[in-house]
Structure 1
Amino acid sequence: MSLIALAAGTTTLAKYLNAKYHISKDVSALRLVRNGMKDYEAAAAQGLANVWLVFKETAARHPDMVCMWTRERPYTYRDVVASSNRLAHFFLSKGVQPGELVALYLTNRAEFMFAWLALWSIGCAPAAINYNLAGDALLHCLKVSGARIVLVDDDEECRVRMEEARGAVEGALGMELVPIETEMGAFPTTDVKEGELALNMSGEYPAILLYTSGTTGMPKGCAFTMSRLYTTLRLRPGSMDEKNGPGGDCWYSCMPLYHGTSAISMIVALVNGTCIGLGKKFSVSGFWRDVRDSQATIFVYVGEAARYLLAAPPTAQDKEHRVRCMYGNGLRPDIWDKFRERFGVEEVGEFFNSTEGIFGLFNYNKGPFSAGSVGHHGLLMRMVMRNTFVPVAIDPNTGDVLRDAKTGFVVRSPYEVGGEIIVNMPNEEAFQGYWRNEEATNKKFLRDVFAKGDLWYRSGDALRRQADGRWYFLDRLGDTFRWKSENVATAEVAEVLGQFPGVQEANVYGVLVPHHEGRAGTAALQITPEARSNFDFKGLTAFARARLPKYAVPVFLRIVEASTHIHNHKQNKVPLREEGVDPDKIGTKAPEGKDDKFLWLAPGDDAYKVFSRDDWEVLQAGKARL
């Protein structure tokens, strides 16, 4: 055989192996991770690991580039620097010191980004408070942040919720409420103390404090650390062929900035030199108009947003846009290709991660191979991650990991079958933990899993991985469920419902509903005997809506005769969750509840009413949108 023929054969074989095992993709991913870490380490060694400093370099390169679009007006980098500096001086005038957090109770608006950057410039960071929160949940999140200042939106609903909480916020919490419309024009636009407050920031300090429902109870704070964000500056653009600078890409998001998906997407683009567009809030009618007007080439989605857009009647303008890619999480396989075909969005950047940031996957999809999956590992990555991301069996009755009766070790599941993903940890410090909540942090760890003394992290999510490396989401484990692209903590909802007169006990869980993403909130209510004949369901509706975010108000009620406890006096959600609200399943898992009465909060209604088989058939036919 000639050398030419041998070389040709070797090249062909190499191409075949690369196509089959995706070796070059894995090598590229590993290189990106390594380079991102090297960038951060080099900056940290010089005390320059604050992302504000990267932003300033970008702004100096492109001062007159339009870097932010809003419906009200566009902003150049020069504008953003000036507005951020003005806010930085304002925060210092309020006594904010380096190392403090400032709470942002803001909708999607340019000032959110200005405040974020301003806080970095003085060695601080924001705590992003969900602006839908009210009552105890709002007070809890503010208390967790430890902030002294709360920047409050001028949106009417936000002002009303915060005004109702003012007494407790200013009294018990000792925080100052600062309206966003406060006059700040008198403050200078120059750098604060020549930028010295931005130096020597710890990599473990929050770039932003986000909140997650976790597995039970009230929302928990979790720092998206400065080191994690710094490495993301290299990882994200390198994974998506992102083009920055004038004439480059433009990212659009109307997903709330208190969510990590939207917040991190926007700030990474802005810092790297890529234009961003901010939509006030998601609406089917206004989405594509914003996308076109902002000249977006990439948009951010979460959960059901894509399904809602797809459900709208087709128009002749469906493909009249510049979008090349959609980026986010929660795009379900059943609409993946339908969305791409109808709207002409060729690329999908679907990622799987959590606020905690311990277990992450990414699928940059351009064709049929990985469509519908939340990530892909080629042969090399499968070898590297073999004993790092591991699926384990779950006890269906307790929701806890299943342990072998003889050895006491956790039962490992085949990747193709899947299970809750646990992550191998070198030590406890590898997880930064929940903000000021050691007890919740410790609950995320598993010990003595496959060997005495080993340490693992519970993701709380079940996934499976096919033999070819494609990852697929199965379910969110534990008490928390997702609805309307939000995490709903059952304990928080149950606590609110339990305060209503006549409710003896509330057991809250999520149920699957045809043609809907996630799980709809359902509350199994045990009503006191004296209230059963004249229970005020309309009053309960108003009570819940006043104290819970809209997405957390239960859609369904199941009126039970007895409590649903297991041997250790904990509520048992499993049989109720499996039965859901399908009339044909009621009583199959919980025989004692075969005669339970069901109610629902139908679209547009102001009170719970009887949920009948006819109503179920309407949902099955896809004729009602909850």
Structure 2
Amino acid sequence: MAPKVGSTVLLFGCGPTGMLLAQLLKLNGTANLDLAKRLNLADSFVAISDTNAKEDMDTLLQSHPHGFDLVVEATGAPSVLEQSIFYVRKGGTLVVYGVYDDAAKIAWPPMRIWTYEITILSSFCSTLKFPVVMEYVRTKKLDFGGIVSKTYRIEEWAECLEALERQQFVKAAIQGIRPGDLVGMYLHNSAEFVFIMFAALTIGAGPALINYNLEGRALMHCLAVAETKLLLVDLDAACQGRIEGSKQEIEAAGTKIVTLDAGLKQTIQSRPVVIPGDELRAGMRPDFPYALIYTSGTTGLSKGCPFTIARTHLLGSHFSPPFGCKRGKDVWYSPMPLYHGTGIITSSTMLLAGVGIAIAPRFSVSNFWPDINASGSTAFIYVGETARYLLAAPPHPLERAHKLRVAYGNGLRPDIWQKFQARFNIPEVAEFFNSSEGMFSLVVWARNGYTSCCVGHHGLVTRSLLHNVYVPVRIDFDTGDLWRNPATGFAQRTSYEEGGEILVAVPSRDAFGGYWRNEEATNKRFATDVFKAGDLYYRCGDALRRSPDGHWYFLDRLGDTFRWKSENVSTAEVAEALGRYPGVTEANVYGVTVPGHEGRAGCAALHLEGQPDENFVSGLLQYSKANLPRYAVPVFLRVVKHSSHIHNHKQNKVGLRQEGIDLEKLGVHERDGADDMIMWQKPGSETYVPFQREDWEALSKGGARL
């Protein structure tokens, strides 16, 4: 290169050879060196990604519009090399110093090289300069801090080669993943799932946990959010089929697909155990994802929610196991999907706490009690309607012959809580209320009747401290937004006993870490000028109430509550009441549009123990009238053969709402719903009767009024 004294140099690449070359350049007279601010070599620093090189590198042109005398490309990234030519000033030199893949190709405009009279050099290995370099080493003019991790003597050569082999294995194993990257995981439940998650974290990367039921556009969206270079895929035939359908798009986006098959597992097991160095994790920040978890996506494309390292530390499981568990004694049974927050966070933090876990491939009613018995589990994780599935099953000889002490999860409805504990002999329930976003969190460890059937409890002191932090407000259910006074524009606070959507007072938008790379969706979670100009609140999106003695109860998800006869109907309250009626296995309540009527009428999708007869439906109607406000009594019933749930066992109302009571639409969105029966409380009737095509037409023409 023979740089002249005072030459300006731009060096891309902060690897070991790049750092040494930078020092050699500075020792040989270059004045201005743009490189990482490390070893006090650089005058300025610009971070450049492999996949978005041009945009990142454009920053340099703003401060150096005429380019540099000497540009050295030492990253080995073809995209960076391709752009490097544009940073060489007239009469300057470009040095191709990186090591590139054999198949790599770049495009340079010949006119640029000609008009700028650019000299292009390359360097492989020049032994002629070894004596000079060794003299620099001997005189300690080269700083190896952070570059050389260990020094070996000649007689330790064999040990050195062994260490080098292990290092190469680590590089091969991480498939080009670098600290700060996210590793895509499209995997069923397995022990390897947890191993891979922790392996990613040990090299400074994070896991992006993708629902293995996704395909096409929804799958591509999740991969784009994570910007992952590596997607690990389950060997399961259905998973392989879904990935194959998008393979070209995935690979075109720069993501490598690797199947977790027996061959890969064997290769890994045959290698020596290597602990990645601390330097790989040195740059991990508290706001980096411990795991990137995606929202369910029932109303649109999934959003990425980082469950951060800081949030994991705040759980405190690594200091002391929760719920009275003992290290080395307790075992948690985990049948929930590990790509779902409750499954992976609970399971992985139990391991951090020193408590064992038993992972089931998936939730299965028939395998549940044999698994519990075989694993000796003392606790298990539930989500959504899993407790109801177990109650609906015939008695199992092992359902009380177990070591279970506590059930932990969210979604245990009050109508089955105590039935569940009594039938299966489960002394304690730990129910939590939270979301992937994690801004409003409650938990109750119910070891007696006082704290049963609620989602949280706050004592007098806590209620006082949080009075202006967790604030219930009135909702405009027609728009789904906060109700605001037409005169002042401010919202209306409701009493805790009445309840409403819970707002969380925050000092700034930074209090919510936000959705991963989705600023627009993040901003929608905030409400401003709520009670006074300039205030700021986070919207949790759920309605809850709190009793005078501090018990919190879930009312509804915002968007599920509907208005009928000028009243707000809570689907959760109606479903809880119907779920207590004998013969009802599950009730999923939602609002449906009715021709010629304002608002939405209540409809309950009922999964029953048997076929409904006249006594059942008339008795259900009379029961509903006795236990619900008149406006909340369902006008319609949909008797279903299969319950509608999303992948995490929570109820799904979207397809049911879209089909409504239009008989022509049955089965369009609910694939198993074509043969469902719609019934209704016909005006003047004291029972539910089948809803026919002529009834729809009568409503449409105004011949019938509800």
Normalising by structure 1, what TM-score? 0.66
1:165 has 2:246 as partner: yes
Deviation at 1:359, TM superposition (A): 0.3
- Separation of aligned partners in 1, 2:635 and 2:231: 48
**Which position in structure 1 is the counterpart of 2:375?**
294
Q: How does 1:235-250 map to 2 (within 5 A)?
A: 239-244=322-327, 246=328, 248-250=329-331
**Which position in structure 1 is the counterpart of 2:663?**
597
- Separation of aligned partners in 1, 2:391 and 2:515: 37
Deviation at 1:234, TM superposition (A): 3.7
SS in 2 for 1:323: coil
Unaligned runs of 5+ in 2: 1-165, 563-573, 607-616, 618-633, 638-658, 682-686, 691-706
1:349 has 2:399 as partner: no
SS in 2 for 1:575: coil
Q: Is the 8 A contact 2:197 2:207 kept in 1?
A: yes
Deviation at 1:609, TM superposition (A): 3.9
Letter in 2 for 1:114: F
SS in 1 for 2:390: helix
Deviation at 1:144, TM superposition (A): 1.0
- Separation of aligned partners in 1, 2:400 and 2:689: 32
Query: For each residue in 1:256-306, what CA deviation from the matched residue of structure 2 results, as whole angstroms up to 9, or x when unmatched?
Result: 001110100100011111000000001110011111111110100001000
Letter in 2 for 1:441: T
Q: Is the 8 A contact 1:304 1:330 kept in 2?
A: yes
Letter in 2 for 1:390: V
Q: Is the 8 A contact 2:317 2:349 kept in 1?
A: no
**Aligned in 2, Cα 1:98/1:520: closer, same or farther, shift over 3 Å?**
farther
- Separation of aligned partners in 1, 2:377 and 2:486: 56
SS in 1 for 2:429: strand
- Separation of aligned partners in 1, 2:676 and 2:355: 52
**Aligned in 2, Cα 1:91/1:301: closer, same or farther, shift over 3 Å?**
farther
The structure carrying a bigger helix percent of its residues is 1
Q: How does 1:161-560 map to 2 (within 5 A)?
A: 161-171=242-252, 173-181=253-261, 182-187=263-268, 188-213=271-296, 216-234=299-317, 239-244=322-327, 246=328, 248-478=329-559, 515=584, 519=588
- Separation of aligned partners in 1, 2:168 and 2:635: 57
Q: Is the 8 A contact 1:86 1:189 kept in 2?
A: no
**Aligned in 2, Cα 1:236/1:141: closer, same or farther, shift over 3 Å?**
farther
SS in 2 for 1:300: strand
- Separation of aligned partners in 2, 1:125 and 1:610: 44
- Separation of aligned partners in 2, 1:321 and 1:155: 32
Deviation at 1:362, TM superposition (A): 0.3
Q: Is the 8 A contact 2:293 2:339 kept in 1?
A: yes
Deviation at 1:596, TM superposition (A): 4.3
- Separation of aligned partners in 1, 2:388 and 2:201: 36
- Separation of aligned partners in 1, 2:303 and 2:409: 22
The share of aligned pairs that are identical, in percent, is: 44
- Separation of aligned partners in 1, 2:333 and 2:210: 21
- Separation of aligned partners in 1, 2:426 and 2:373: 13
- Separation of aligned partners in 2, 1:104 and 1:454: 40
**Aligned in 2, Cα 1:189/1:125: closer, same or farther, shift over 3 Å?**
farther
Q: Is the 8 A contact 2:321 2:354 kept in 1?
A: no
- Separation of aligned partners in 2, 1:93 and 1:342: 48
Q: Is the 8 A contact 1:86 1:190 kept in 2?
A: no
- Separation of aligned partners in 1, 2:674 and 2:185: 34
- Separation of aligned partners in 1, 2:472 and 2:168: 47
Unaligned runs of 5+ in 1: 1-84, 482-510, 525-557, 565-573, 588-592, 620-626
1:108 has 2:158 as partner: no
Query: For each residue in 1:171-228, what CA deviation from the matched residue of structure 2 results, as whole angstroms up to 9, or x when unmatched?
Result: 2x22111001152544544334434313342000000000114794211001000010
Question: How many residue pairs were aligned?
Answer: 453
SS in 2 for 1:240: coil
- Separation of aligned partners in 2, 1:472 and 1:404: 27
**Which position in structure 1 is the counterpart of 2:156?**
none
**Aligned in 2, Cα 1:201/1:277: closer, same or farther, shift over 3 Å?**
same
Deviation at 1:520, TM superposition (A): 7.0
SS in 1 for 2:483: coil
Q: Is the 8 A contact 2:589 2:602 kept in 1?
A: no
**Which of 575, 588, 591 is residue 599 of structure 2 equivalent to?**
575
**Aligned in 2, Cα 1:184/1:396: closer, same or farther, shift over 3 Å?**
closer
**Aligned in 2, Cα 1:293/1:184: closer, same or farther, shift over 3 Å?**
closer
SS in 2 for 1:369: helix
**Aligned in 2, Cα 1:88/1:97: closer, same or farther, shift over 3 Å?**
farther
**Aligned in 2, Cα 1:581/1:266: closer, same or farther, shift over 3 Å?**
closer
- Separation of aligned partners in 2, 1:264 and 1:387: 30
Query: For each residue in 1:583-616, what CA deviation from the matched residue of structure 2 results, as whole angstroms up to 9, or x when unmatched?
Result: 97269xxxxx9994365449x9867246343999
**Which of 611, 635, 640 is residue 585 of structure 1 equivalent to?**
635
**Aligned in 2, Cα 1:88/1:195: closer, same or farther, shift over 3 Å?**
farther
Which segment is superposed worse, 254-263 or 158-167? Answer: 158-167
**Aligned in 2, Cα 1:580/1:352: closer, same or farther, shift over 3 Å?**
same
Deviation at 1:521, TM superposition (A): 8.5
Deviation at 1:381, TM superposition (A): 0.7
Q: Is the 8 A contact 2:321 2:353 kept in 1?
A: no
- Separation of aligned partners in 1, 2:689 and 2:243: 38
SS in 2 for 1:209: strand
Q: Is the 8 A contact 2:636 2:678 kept in 1?
A: no
- Separation of aligned partners in 1, 2:446 and 2:455: 10
1:154 has 2:204 as partner: no
**Aligned in 2, Cα 1:610/1:292: closer, same or farther, shift over 3 Å?**
closer
- Separation of aligned partners in 2, 1:169 and 1:249: 42
**Which position in structure 1 is the counterpart of 2:146?**
none
Q: How does 1:7-22 map to 2 (within 5 A)?
A: none
- Separation of aligned partners in 1, 2:487 and 2:436: 36
Q: Is the 8 A contact 2:183 2:230 kept in 1?
A: yes
**Aligned in 2, Cα 1:289/1:215: closer, same or farther, shift over 3 Å?**
closer
Q: Is the 8 A contact 2:293 2:341 kept in 1?
A: yes
Q: Which has the higher contact order (CA 8 A, sep 6+)?
A: 1
**Aligned in 2, Cα 1:315/1:471: closer, same or farther, shift over 3 Å?**
same
Normalising by structure 2, what TM-score? 0.59
Deviation at 1:403, TM superposition (A): 1.1
- Separation of aligned partners in 2, 1:110 and 1:423: 37
SS in 2 for 1:345: coil
Query: For each residue in 1:31-51, what CA deviation from the matched residue of structure 2 results, as whole angstroms up to 9, or x when unmatched?
Result: xxxxxxxxxxxxxxxxxxxxx
**Aligned in 2, Cα 1:338/1:610: closer, same or farther, shift over 3 Å?**
closer
- Separation of aligned partners in 1, 2:295 and 2:666: 27
Deviation at 1:143, TM superposition (A): 1.2
- Separation of aligned partners in 2, 1:90 and 1:446: 46
